[in-house]
Amino acid sequence: MRLKLLIAYDGRPFRGWQSQSGGDAVQDHVEAAFTALCGRRVPLHGAGRTDAGVHALAQCAHVDVEHPRLTPDDWPAALNAHLPPEIRVIRCARVPANFHARFDARGKIYTYRIWNHPVLSPFENGRAWHLPGPLDLPLLKTCALRLVGTHDFAGFAANRGKPGENTVRTVHRITVRHASTVVTLRFEGDGFLYKMVRLMTGSLVRCAQHRADPEWLSALLAGKTKTSFAAPAEGLCLTRVLY
């Protein structure tokens, strides 16, 4: 039967989601847990990649298993017993055989957290970008609106050696919230390029620090230049995959 998994993880100890030769990715650990339970390798298919250090509240994946003793409700506890504490299978459900975690996804939501205070809380270490200096929050919100819509986001994509890749994406909304010392940016779109959310965040912050003119964002969308200001991985979290 085909199972859909909802997986949460603290990305700090791992080399991202996608399987690596050294076996240090989140996918490697979850596949190893299935191997321990099924007695054979079971390929796992994720909804998308996350970089090293990036977290997830709700990464989705699917897998095909044959295990007569375990129901879908049994799998989370069984898998978690074989996983490091930084990775947890939150939920498991049976899905149709034609469901695909990646190709059936119609969008994703990412959240980026900024700790805007001179002193970083030790409980936020590795979970937020520490920016001790002032941020122009009204300007941050105004600049974020410039990136909403359907655009060619090549100026916000890190080079992955894939010339000719379609770089047009639709960002449905970017929400900026401020509560005490935490600034949260929530990105919802039909898909995101390699490091696109981190590059958008880094560029928006540069404008909010008055280190770049907002018109620079328009030049990036027009393909006249590329940004290299990527926000650190630790502030980013894959919050939800939309189906």
The catalytic position among 10, 28, 51, 213 is: 51
Helical H segments across 26-136, by residue range: 26-38, 75-80
d(CA 148, CA 105): 20
| Tokens, residue 125 | 């270490």
d(CA 10, CA 35): 22
Count Cβ atoms below 10 Å from residue 58 Cβ, excluding itself.
17
3-state secondary structure 35-53: HHHHCCCCCCEECCCCCCC
Is position 104 annotated as part of the catalytic site? no
Widest CA span of the chain, in angstroms? 61
**Active site members:** 51
